[in-house]
Structure 1
């Protein structure tokens, strides 16, 4: 090396490199060989890697494991003495609103004037990863490369690299890793990820510089200043203490299976911390997909030392969910090859799992996410095109030009077309797209209903208009179609209804159609009914009538269930009761039966002389030769007239002498009078039927004397003698 010795002289002296001492890395990683400040001698250093996953579990830069469930924004890494302008924040949220544990939702990398936020919008399934810059609303178009910062996506992880510092930050479904070179950050970090000093004893460093006994306690103090006092950002110094109920079919056992998928890596990196975090997640997180993060993080750590493990095929819940057209690889370049690769561009030399193009294919561009076999152009629809390939786009003839590697389009030309003449009603000349050549227009005769003439809707009686558009026509036409009716004298008749016809004919509208389409009127000669019921006789018709009529000749009534006939004026009585009779009388043109019942006068055998009792001439009442005229029951025929209805009744009365006298009483010294009257002793109400002039009958009730006798009464001086007359009742 050169050394200035004065006098404008330089002395060249040999520089002896110290003996390289072996280094054991506290984080279990292999040490790396680096040059010293003069870039002359080499020595071993332990680069720093901080990992976090699950709900969440941390392994610090120096390999210390702890868990912390804060659900706010914290410092993951912050320089103790600002040198490179780098700090990294973590934004934790509850994995599930019903649970107390939290998961990493975003990392914020602040470097120089740039602030890049890597965020996962779907913690419970297929990751929805986006990157934002400086609080912009629109997410970055990946890959992003500016001012020494590069961001790539593998569909499973986002990878950010700071090229000058060899810093690599990876953020995925629910986990992250931060790789820092020791030569830039050794002993100069603090936060959740510890001190990067290759000594776990000072990893739980507080902002004050003191060291806490427990990193879970330390983590509370690295809350972002703007979140202090924020609702929900309370210290989480005590981890969940609920009894552990590990899922019986948990995938955690894959980590420690000595003959399983991860067995090859066990000798290089211990799975203990990852297994511990996986069991914790299985106990306290309902979403089983969180268990996968422990396996993802361990597999990523193994991949960094060259051990690639295709572990996802051993589980049912940790699917890669690659999009169509891509395949899953457990180890692949974060910076995937594409048609836009430039050998002069820096390449991100970092291996990670992700979704890659199949063998023999590459990305069309870094941004397109489309895999192609050969490079060319991307058409306006985003479809890859090979060089010199021709295609049509929006009526333009396009070609993928190899010299410019762009799509060049020119408008298509259309052939000239003759104008048609539109002759039929309703057709109008219009300009429209040619069906055989959608890029060109043609003139055609198009049907437009507003151009059609009015339609005549009038039809004859029995017909109705039918509107239809004939094939090949534009405008509707009206035709008169017959209804299902009969027509006579401009009147419509429904089927089975009566229709006026000729004399002595019965006409009706049939259900069969005639030659004109209307229903046919059918007529039949009227059939006369000449059979009459009992008591009637058929009388032949006059010249003006079609049929004769049945004329009544007898009265008909029922006796003991049999019909009995009586001629006009003829009377009939039942043999066993001569007091009743029925007479056939004519009332207008109708013969009707009137009934009559004889009411016999009161009859007392005690008033009769012996052997003189006999039946009267009417065959109903009893008569006899009476004894002397003492007080007795006398029967007389009495006419009854009531409201124009009348009849004659044998109405009994009391007549005869009683013991009446006047004599001197010696005891009284005066005349003594004794009067006795012949009057009724027993009587009852009786009802009879009166015949009226209009042929009707009414009921009439009177007092009927049944027994007579002498009864005492007061004696009075008669004013005059009364002339005895034959009684006659007239009732109003």
Structure 2
């Protein structure tokens, strides 16, 4: 009855009310290695020692049941970790395992699903091996952490997510160290089944099938606990013998970090939590999974178990493989309150003070609130940018003067007042007066002179430079500056001259552009010297002074210059000269305008044949060129002739020499007494000597053909027969042969 009293029937409908007597307190030993805890009985009158239900899983994966039984299971599906045999609190917990190393067919826990009444939560790690990537969902909608609603809290420490049900003292963790489920024995004792076994401090009945049948191997039992909403999982029809993997006696890798579990790093925790199961799981993973980060999960799970026993270990400092990665404003702590202190904490609010590793505020700071994640030294207000402000602190925000009000714990703002400013004038070219933000006070505008190059003007006087100067552009304060700078040239009569070139200067002077620079004009200087007259003339010319307005005289031609056979002859105007070697060639000097020019003429002699001359009459003509004589009268002689030979459509290109014979010979007729008849004697003019010659004829079709003819070289009288008809004349004899 109430107030820890008992109603007892004595007799005759007599009821005796007496105080409830508690049984004696007995010490017990927990099969899972945890410390027993004192808890009230169902009447909340007497305390007894009980062993709370703690189930752990990590790696690929390895399980320790509520009662401390260790086994490994490689299923690839969603399974029941824990469910109530007799529904009392409507709590069910599932695990979703996926293959994390397909080559070895080993699986790792990817998410844990908590079903509490009508609420469904999922704690998920998107990277099952390696750096943590955690996410919490409710009814498949992502939660903004921390979350607290309808008796459930969800927190994230950066490395681990924690789900608490304070009314039932339930704590569930999930993260890079796998998972852990802590249930109070007084609420869930003797009423659990699934992969985590039965929570009754007895390992013998942990490998129980859904209908209560026991098997020897929990790895066999695990196949029979697929979640009901995952029909794709294969369920064996009969239990099969599936022996546990034999523990691997020694590490497969020399550089494994598993040995740290048995070293001095964790020695402080060995009396409270045995490292054997965690070491065996670590070696198992090290030998079967390629990614070495899997080894960290065994060390993380063991450190988490130690933290629940009050032993806090800074083990991550001893290995780079499992180093923590916290943001710059947080620090890593191996044991920190999952529900971190905040400025908004209410002392009366129920909290479980569960510790876990994670990223926490540094010493001396606390969270401003659970939603911000901002660590502050003093509590106050958060400004609109999420920056913490102390009470009564005044600051500027968005050109407003704001204060953190202690009474309301809110930010109150009013417009900022700006001082009046004096306007200035801009005198430099290109500068204009504009309003801009004051760098000393961004909320108040100020007037400054600012360069705007599009307002610059070009001075036309400077752009058009004089002769000898070039336009140069320089960068000024704002606008471009134009200057005319002297070139390296001489300037004379507005004409530029390069150094070393001739300059048409003063009369009767030779001027040159030098490389010397005039110090005043910065141009090159012109130097002049008197002009030197050249009075030496070549042969045939005489130097003659000219008019007074000219500086020098000039060479005037007085003779014609004739060079024959490398010999120079000077001829005056009208004078002639005949070469001694060739009397037929004659030269004369004639004037054409102001120039004396040499002309030549050649005498062509008439044909001369010595055989046609009378003896002793051969002589040279008066001109000294031709040979003449007195010719024989009508004598037979060689007559020269030139002709162009034509045969059909073929003709010689040029005239050829073709002399012939002409003249009379002695012919008579007289009576011969001896013969008693007329005696005749006849002779004719004919060729006495000739030669054969050949010439090429060009035909109309473009082809050339050779042609042979007789060339007469000597003529004479030759006796002939007189019986032929009288009056027959001696004819020219020609003989043509076309080859």
TM-score by length of 1: 0.69
Corresponding residue for residue 644 of structure 1: none
Corresponding residue for residue 329 of structure 1: 333
Q: Secondary structure at the match of 1:293?
A: helix
Corresponding residue for residue 360 of structure 1: 364
Partners in 1 of 2:261 and 2:712 — Cα distance? 136
Q: Secondary structure at the match of 1:270?
A: coil
Q: Residue 374 of structure 1 contacts residue 386 of structure 1 at CA under 8 Å; is this kept in 2?
A: yes
Is the deviation greater in 145-154 or in 419-428? Answer: 419-428
Once the two structures are TM-superposed, the CA of residue 66 in structure 1 deviates from its matched residue by: 0.5
Corresponding residue for residue 345 of structure 1: 349
Once the two structures are TM-superposed, the CA of residue 186 in structure 1 deviates from its matched residue by: 3.2
Corresponding residue for residue 39 of structure 1: 44
Q: Residue 577 of structure 2 contacts residue 587 of structure 2 at CA under 8 Å; is this kept in 1?
A: yes
CA distances 1:455-505 after superposition (whole Å, capped 9, x unpaired): 77477964599999986xx9x79978578599999x876867999878778
**What are the ranges of 5 or more consecutive residues in structure 2 without an aligned counterpart?**
644-654, 668-682, 697-706, 733-739
1:54 aligns with 2:74: no
Q: Residue 251 of structure 2 contacts residue 283 of structure 2 at CA under 8 Å; is this kept in 1?
A: no
- Label 1:461 to 1:217 Cα distance change in 2 as closer, same or farther (>3 A): same
Corresponding residue for residue 18 of structure 2: 12
- Label 1:420 to 1:12 Cα distance change in 2 as closer, same or farther (>3 A): same
Once the two structures are TM-superposed, the CA of residue 321 in structure 1 deviates from its matched residue by: 1.7
**What are the ranges of 5 or more consecutive residues in structure 1 without an aligned counterpart?**
639-648, 662-672, 687-701, 725-732
Q: Residue 600 of structure 1 contacts residue 620 of structure 1 at CA under 8 Å; is this kept in 2?
A: no
In the TM superposition, 1:567-586 aligns within 5 A as 567=571
Corresponding residue for residue 172 of structure 2: 169
Once the two structures are TM-superposed, the CA of residue 121 in structure 1 deviates from its matched residue by: 4.4
Partners in 1 of 2:582 and 2:273 — Cα distance? 141
Once the two structures are TM-superposed, the CA of residue 277 in structure 1 deviates from its matched residue by: 2.8
Partners in 1 of 2:75 and 2:463 — Cα distance? 92
Partners in 1 of 2:71 and 2:666 — Cα distance? 155
In the TM superposition, 1:64-213 aligns within 5 A as 64-68=70-74, 70=76, 73-93=78-98, 95=100, 101-123=106-128, 125-137=130-142, 139-142=143-146, 144-173=147-176, 175-200=178-203, 202-207=205-210, 210=213
Q: Residue 93 of structure 1 contacts residue 105 of structure 1 at CA under 8 Å; is this kept in 2?
A: yes
CA distances 1:356-390 after superposition (whole Å, capped 9, x unpaired): 33333333333443334443443443333344443
Q: Residue 172 of structure 2 contacts residue 179 of structure 2 at CA under 8 Å; is this kept in 1?
A: yes
1:29 aligns with 2:34: yes
Once the two structures are TM-superposed, the CA of residue 54 in structure 1 deviates from its matched residue by: 2.5
Q: Secondary structure at the match of 2:293?
A: helix
Q: Which has the larger radius of gyration?
A: 2
Corresponding residue for residue 250 of structure 1: 256
Q: Residue 28 of structure 2 contacts residue 50 of structure 2 at CA under 8 Å; is this kept in 1?
A: no
Is the deviation greater in 505-514 or in 299-308? Answer: 505-514
Partners in 2 of 1:530 and 1:381 — Cα distance? 103
TM-score by length of 2: 0.68
Partners in 1 of 2:423 and 2:471 — Cα distance? 37
Q: Secondary structure at the match of 2:197?
A: coil
Corresponding residue for residue 322 of structure 2: 318
- Label 1:320 to 1:456 Cα distance change in 2 as closer, same or farther (>3 A): closer
Partners in 2 of 1:718 and 1:460 — Cα distance? 116
Partners in 1 of 2:462 and 2:690 — Cα distance? 94
Q: Residue 304 of structure 2 contacts residue 357 of structure 2 at CA under 8 Å; is this kept in 1?
A: yes
Q: Residue 601 of structure 1 contacts residue 652 of structure 1 at CA under 8 Å; is this kept in 2?
A: no
Partners in 2 of 1:208 and 1:630 — Cα distance? 171
- Count of residues paired in the alignment: 664
Corresponding residue for residue 273 of structure 2: 269
Is the deviation greater in 98-107 or in 515-524? Answer: 515-524
- Label 1:276 to 1:544 Cα distance change in 2 as closer, same or farther (>3 A): farther
- Label 1:563 to 1:482 Cα distance change in 2 as closer, same or farther (>3 A): farther
RMSD: 6.1
- Label 1:527 to 1:173 Cα distance change in 2 as closer, same or farther (>3 A): farther
Once the two structures are TM-superposed, the CA of residue 168 in structure 1 deviates from its matched residue by: 0.7
In the TM superposition, 1:654-693 aligns within 5 A as 677=687, 680-683=690-693
Partners in 2 of 1:470 and 1:350 — Cα distance? 71
